[in-house]
Structure 1
């Protein structure tokens, strides 16, 4: 399958000035490099998050392993909330001859690789926590920069297609991280393999980024007060950006509430005899559908020349998956729910990504603003357990959890209509 649609006039993205609105389609090699960066970063994130950190916590303290894992992952999540917009803002102001984004992609990956290798030999809980926070710092710096390359380099008419492939890279990386953790013997070797994969995946992009250099004359004046204030994007001044942030937050919160307690749902509500294997089956089905619909949904959006109808429809599909789990608590219902969730979330990731790149306030702050948008991806991971636990334990169990998740997702679909500047 071709990564880019050849059209007359395709040319090197290096011809686009740093702050210009891109008008020339990017080529397959450039797209492949960006996709591979996403694969590597997400393999480095989710191999540890799904398996390796838990294995290490158990070795360090078998009695308190749950508390250790919560501490380490919680600190890492807190770091990710601030690292993404901060490093995005730094990349916006970078005037390196290598471009605005490349130094931060490469530097972030190098920090992530070093911290992963350090985790392989972390002697205690404190070292494990610090090193995982460094992984989050480096990889989120790279995420902020690589995400900003899309509005930097890709014209609007190609963003659905590129956004679909971009999102596909995220999902492939998540699955790849799980495969690494399952296939490699021991958490130390798992960290080493994750580090190697992360480094190798960034090489094609760095060697062919063609990242435009920011003219020093265009660099915004810097002060710490202006820098800090810049992370607040006024919804009154930029209402479409505010609505786009809110809708992404709500849909991601729905998604995380659905997937958070899947193991316990299969074990306690469904009564599936091997819930761990059940989670693997459902995750595989979900990931497969996400990959397919991310690519197809993005391409369909470009062909239609519209974003909002597909974002609304995919948000509603995600909400419907929650209702399937709520009212059909069987393995068959769970399989159907996983397939529906993957169909909706894949299309949503691709098309909403393209929509967001079209409501960014200014070209000079693309990296910072995409970092602020990425908080809408990270914050639901923190809030989902806070909302989900009381619903499951004291307010009606899994029925109330999944109905609430569906309502939240439907709100995300409704609020998309508030965005006026995108069709």
Structure 2
């Protein structure tokens, strides 16, 4: 989606979509690690095609890589069948990144000297894609002056060299020359594309330049050291929104109640337990220049008036606990002098839209998203949701109905709605 120079970048930054990786495998015992590397790259969502030198085929078969990548393995420069489909030039154009792992001493020398006597060296010269090399060789070969000269030439030419690890080698020597583990290599590739994707989002994303604060999950109100009052919120909607806002270019602070969810990539997280703690942390964010405040947390309406220091012993059929009202976090933030753009959430079991429209006005919000938690197929503990969004009158926006979809998809639509309202506010 594109609006006035803004775009929405994929909300899931754990996966890099539509990126093509050529994994080139050269001769060396470390070639066995490359099979695992194919799997790890595919786990991150990359499309992987494998090129093998003749030396590599002495250590591991092309059939292994074909099974793991799902594509035929490229081994010959002058292969009539390959030329009829994807020749070496088309393969070079296809790649978004070429990773040579392991990169043998011989391959480094060919790259440095500009030779083109096999498929891999020809690809190196024919591609515009970034080229990464992960050298793997005997420690003395690595230390040789000729190897170091070749490496310096490659660095000067813009090749990214992944330094080898030190340790015991297959030949019995100990020293630098071991190829890093596949998980480490795949992670570095993923981070490279993440940074590029983030740079685009920070410049062109729907929420570029905005500091978004999100409350998520339930609160727990202590009764005694082992008991508390809470609700069924899992925090999934708030965490999905945090990921979506970050992917749209925002700086994101997430104030999370007690939930068992991983922090979205790039998001700053603060954990709290009670409603009072959540309010305190929310007020702190205003001092940091909060632009958008999104209150998805299911905050307990009441807390225990007097929390027992000791576990309350069972002494009868009834237990009386006095409750007092908790502060209304979203209403409190909306009343501040430095008021951010306010987004509320309403989880109701009846008269959903009527109650939500009332909260929008009563709590001085800019936007509110409501859902019917009496439905068993959406809302609490579900991976899907459906919502109706209302806007304050000054935005001149009609209510929007977000049909049932994954919470990630709903989060993306909410980000688009927030961006639309912000443009009108400006």
TM-score (norm 1): 0.22
The structure whose residues are more often helix, as a share, is 1
The structure whose residues are more often strand, as a share, is 2
Task: For CA contacts below 8 A with separation 6 or more, give which structure has more relative contact order.
Answer: 1
Larger Cα-atom Rg: 2
TM-score (norm 2): 0.22
